[in-house]
């Protein structure tokens, strides 16, 4: 039995999807365990700092109803911003995951190469370079 062209389709396309899935599981693990080295974790810490700063500014003037409403609105906006960020990230990732499948028209090697190249770019986008590593100060939000 000889080597058929569809063998490449059967090997490279699932392998490309598998490494994409494995990268995103690894990224989720890094965000959970070491958020200070990921852009997503730094974004969450920044939002926590912003909400904390808004509360500290509003607390001295808490005697009015308007300040209480401002505090509630700030917390609501922070939660809304978090949800919007997550939806934006998921939508962009799904859009990027579709590119290798689109390039499958040109063959499985092109689709697999695109998957590997895309993961290299996403790794550069998702993680802070070691020289630029930020120290947020261990915020627990």
Q: Is the pLDDT of residue 3 over 70?
A: no
d(CA 107, CA 31): 34
β partners of residue 38: 127
- Rounded mean pLDDT of the chain? 80
pLDDT 10s digits, 21-46: 999 999 999 988 998 898 888 887 88
**So what's the pLDDT on residue 128?**
86
Total residue length of the chain: 141
Residues 6+ away with beta carbon under 8 Å from 102: none
Q: Provide the residue ranges of all domains of the chain, joining segments of one domain with +.
A: 36-126
d(CA 22, CA 13): 14
d(CA 116, CA 108): 12
Q: Which of 59, 40, 55 is nearest to 123 (CA)?
A: 40
Q: Is the pLDDT of residue 1 over 60?
A: no
Token pair belonging to 114? 């695109």
| Mean pLDDT, residues 68-75 taken together | 70
- Chain centroid to CA 82: 12
The C-alpha angle 69, 73, 76, rounded to 5 degrees, equals 140
d(CA 49, CA 140): 10
The pTM assigned to this predicted structure is: 0.72
Sign of the CA dihedral with 46 first, then 51, 52, and 56 last: positive
């Amino acid at each position: 039995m000889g080597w058929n062209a569809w063998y490449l389709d059967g090997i490279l396309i699932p392998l490309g999807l598998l490494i994409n899935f494995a990268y995103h599981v690894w990224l989720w693990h890094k965000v959970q365990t070491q958020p200070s080295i990921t852009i997503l974790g730094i974004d969450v810490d920044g939002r926590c700092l912003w909400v904390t700063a808004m509360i500290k500014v509003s607390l001295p003037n808490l005697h009015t109803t308007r300040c209480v409403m401002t505090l509630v609105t700030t917390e609501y906006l922070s939660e809304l911003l978090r949800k919007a960020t997550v939806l934006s990230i998921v939508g962009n990732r799904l859009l990027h995951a579709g590119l290798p499948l689109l390039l499958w028209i040109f063959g499985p090697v092109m689709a697999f190469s695109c998957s590997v190249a895309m993961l290299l770019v996403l790794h550069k986008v998702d993680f802070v370079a070691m020289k630029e590593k930020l120290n947020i100060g261990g915020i627990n939000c």
